[in-house]
Amino acid sequence: MDEGGSKRRRLTPEEKLEIFLEVQKGNITKAEVMRRHGIHSAELAHIEKRAQESLVDGFKKDKRKKDPEKDALAREIARLKEALTEQSVEVTLLRKKVNGG
């Protein structure tokens, strides 16, 4: 055992989410959540604050951010459409030539 008492355990992000959700559901008191997970009120307050900030940040993010792979595929589609159009024009001109038009 270390000199300062028990060693503080680091919670995983998944555990913090679980704690946050338990508090938000309201089925049990915050005190019970803290006892169950072995955390202090300051740590619970920190978890709640971080979760709320993260949620706000998630809502702020632009979901329409450009995906480089999508952009490359869109450019390739445009290039292929242009090539197809050129081929179509050439075929039309050759048919007219062959048919004596």
Residue 4 lies in a domain: no
21, 4, 15, 62: which is closest to 38 by C-alpha? Answer: 15
Residue/partner pairs of 52-55 with CB below 8 Å, 24 or more apart:
none
> Mean pLDDT, to the nearest integer, of 16-28?
93
> Mean pLDDT, to the nearest integer, of 11-39?
94
Do 59 and 72 share a domain, yes or no? Answer: no
Range of the domain at 73: 66-101
pLDDT at 63 over 70: no
Mean pLDDT of the chain: 88
In the chain, the number of structural domains is 2
